[in-house]
Amino acid sequence: MSTSSKTASAPLLRMMIYSRPLHPELFRIEGRRSVQHGGFKAELWLTAGGHVARFQALGRQLAEVVIDGGEGLPESGLVHALPAIGEKDYEMPASEPLGFVTTVQTETLSDNLYQGTLREMTDFAREVGALSYAYTDAAGRDSLSLIDCQKYKRELHLQAYHLLGGSGVVLRTQSIFEMHA
């Protein structure tokens, strides 16, 4: 019989959507990428176990934040927040000039499945040139955060993965930022 070295509890990951930019000093940024295409600009930041995606177009801004906890982040401009547990979806009302839709999925894997997924996602990040950050978490376990994007004329599609070794949790988010006007 084997024993698991996972921590007893998973982190309390949250996804938060803001209608304003957030200052980089609020986060410990481990990787950064700027994207400009058509009529929009975006900035992607990776943190250990989370990310921030800032999208700017039509004189407006949206920010997607995935973070453990979220304490200390401003409430001003917060449009929606949801726990990143299980499967969740969110779509902003279509009346806004900028659109946003996301799906969040989490899964807790056994040690063997987690290690295989970690290898697979590390290879994927390298193959597609995704922004990635590999690190050892507080439990001494290998972990990975990565974000990949596709640019379209009026949309930015993001896929982010956060593999948290201490708990065996894999968080996947898929989001679309779009210009309606």
User: Which tens digit of pLDDT belongs to each residue from 64-80?
Assistant: 999 988 788 999 999 99
Extents of the domains making up the chain: 13-179
Q: What is the pLDDT of residue 15?
A: 95
pTM: 0.91
Q: What is the pLDDT of residue 10?
A: 55
Helix or strand holding residue 63 (H, E): strand 60-68
Q: Which has the higher per-residue pLDDT, 135 or 3?
A: 135
User: Which tens digit of pLDDT belongs to each residue from 105-129?
Assistant: 999 999 999 999 999 999 999 999 9
41: Cβ–Cβ under 8 A, 6 or more apart, which residues? Answer: 34, 35, 55, 56, 57
The yes-or-no verdict on residue 143 having pLDDT over 60 is yes
The yes-or-no verdict on residue 147 having pLDDT over 60 is yes
Give CA angle at 178 (157, 147), nearest 5°.
25
Q: Which has the higher per-residue pLDDT, 81 or 5?
A: 81
Closest residue by Cα to residue 121 from 75, 172, 156: 172
